[in-house]
Amino acid sequence: MSFHREFVIALCVYSLLGVLAAAAAAAPGGKDDLDVGGLNIDYMYRPGNESTVLDKELTQIALNLEYLEAEYFLWGAYGFGHDVVAPYLVDGGPPPIGAQKANLDPYYTDLFIQMGLQEVRISRTLLDVSKMVWAEFMDKAFLTTFGTKLIPPFDPHADSLKYLVSTYAIPHVGLTGYVGTNPLLFGYNAKMLVAKLLAVESSQDAIIRDEMYCQKNLIVVPYRYIVADFSIAISTLRNDLSHVFVDEGLVVPPAMGAESMVSGNVLSVITSIPTYHLL
């Protein structure tokens, strides 16, 4: 599988979640060309290893994901986002569409406050995190896997469990996208930035998977599906969008589990998944 295809996964899910970002043409150029479009990143140069316009465009797509996480987590937990937490980063940018506080218990409020604050330092771009967008996203996931839509429409803000399930859709896209992006980057600083973001995304993805795995058999009311079903539906949609096998849910057939011995899949470290091909 090409690294280009891995990166397409991120672009597809950005589109599903309504992230509206524009990128300039990916033509090589000098330092002045790095001012093209959006946040200007001050690249440092090393001899023979200059950053390129493509470096900037790819890393800015990554930063859009970080901003999505910051706003979604902060709004879900606090009821406000960058406007209050980091108004100096807003710089006249548009507020997110449909952002609102979720009905979280104290434990998940604390958890997602921490995750949201980890993502601050990213300037604002336009995105849509409304419940209508999430309902459409979940419908696509369940149509892909189970051949049916969710009735009533999925609302991640309704309670802690639904919000937790919704967050499963985000960090894995980032870590898979960063793995695919890194070989396409030329400059040292761009590679270093993506490596640092990958560490955070991997940690958040592991925490979210662990939280969901502990509740994998709980029914997500008012639906007849359990938490594990939601993970399978979202992971299947990721595979469908990328046209390759990149992700698995919380439960798999034993033959597909770790060392072909277990069905539990709390960490999606499966050798058949391209993200983990190291050699």
pLDDT digits 0-9 by tens, 202-221:
899 999 999 999 999 999 99
Per-residue pLDDT, averaged over 92-107, amounts to 91
Q: What is the pLDDT of residue 100?
A: 95
Within a domain: 254: no
112-162 residue pLDDT tens: 999 999 988 766 677 889 999 999 999 999 999 999 999 999 999 999 999
Q: Which domain holds residue 146?
A: 3-246
Within a domain: 81: yes
Instruction: Give me the number of domains the chain comprises.
Output: 1
**Mean pLDDT in the chain?**
80
Is residue 224 classed exposed, middle or buried when 0-12, 13-18 and 19+ CB atoms within 10 A define those classes? exposed
The one-letter amino acid at 269: V
Within a domain: 258: no
Within a domain: 272: no
Residue of 137, 230, 176, 144 whose CA lies nearest to 6: 176
Question: What's the CA gap between 198 and 85, in Å, rounded?
Answer: 23
Within a domain: 32: yes
Contacts of 99 (CB under 8 A, 6+ apart): 71, 72, 75, 81, 129, 130
The one-letter amino acid at 228: A
Q: What is the pLDDT of residue 183?
A: 87
Within a domain: 66: yes
Within a domain: 270: no
Length of the chain: 279
